[in-house]
Amino acid sequence: MANTNVVKGKNVIVEMNIAAVYYPVFCCKTMEFVQSQEIIEITSINSGFSREYEAGMSTATLSVTGITVLDNTSGQVSITYLIQEAIRRQVQTMRITLTSDAANSLQITFDALITSNTLSRERG
C-alpha cells in the first residue's frame, strides 16, 4: 500500500504575501528551510558532572533557487521585486505550503527579512 502522507518536492510552494494575496516566489526549483534553536548554558554548582541548558532565541532561514520572471505581472514574485530596497528593508510575510500525495496540505507562515539576493545563471 502506497503512503499517501508523502510530500514530494514538486508539492512544496514558497509564497510571499503582497497586498493580502499570496504569490509564488518565482518558479522555485529548490527550497531549504532551516530552523535553529540557541541554547544557553545554566550549569550551576548543583549540576553535578553534567552541563545543563535551556532554550534561548531561535532563528530560521529560507533559501530558494529557481527560474525568475521579469516582473510580477505573471502572478509570480520576481527577483527584481525582491531586490528593491523598499521591499528588502521591510518585514515580509511568507508561507510554505506542503501538499501530500493525498492532497492534504500543511502551511508554515512566518515573517521574514530578505537578507540576500543572488542573480546567477547556469550554463545549459
For residue range 72-92, list pLDDT tens digits in order. 888 888 888 999 999 989 999
What is the rounded average pLDDT of the residues 33-39? 96
Per-residue model confidence (pLDDT) at position 89: 93
Per-residue model confidence (pLDDT) at position 54: 97
33-42, 61-70, 87-96: lowest mean pLDDT where?
61-70
Percent of the chain with pLDDT over 70: 98
Burial of 79 (0-12, 13-18, 19+ CB in 10 A): middle
Q: Does 124 have pLDDT greater than 80?
A: no
Average pLDDT over all residues of the chain: 89
Per-residue model confidence (pLDDT) at position 19: 93
Q: Which of helix, strand or coil describes residue 49?
A: coil
Per-residue model confidence (pLDDT) at position 33: 93
| Residue 7 CA: distances (Å) to CA of 2, 97, 106, 110, 114 | 12, 10, 10, 20, 26
Q: Does 101 have pLDDT greater than 90?
A: no
pTM of the model: 0.79
Per-residue model confidence (pLDDT) at position 116: 87
Count of Cβ atoms closer than 10 Å to residue 77 Cβ: 23
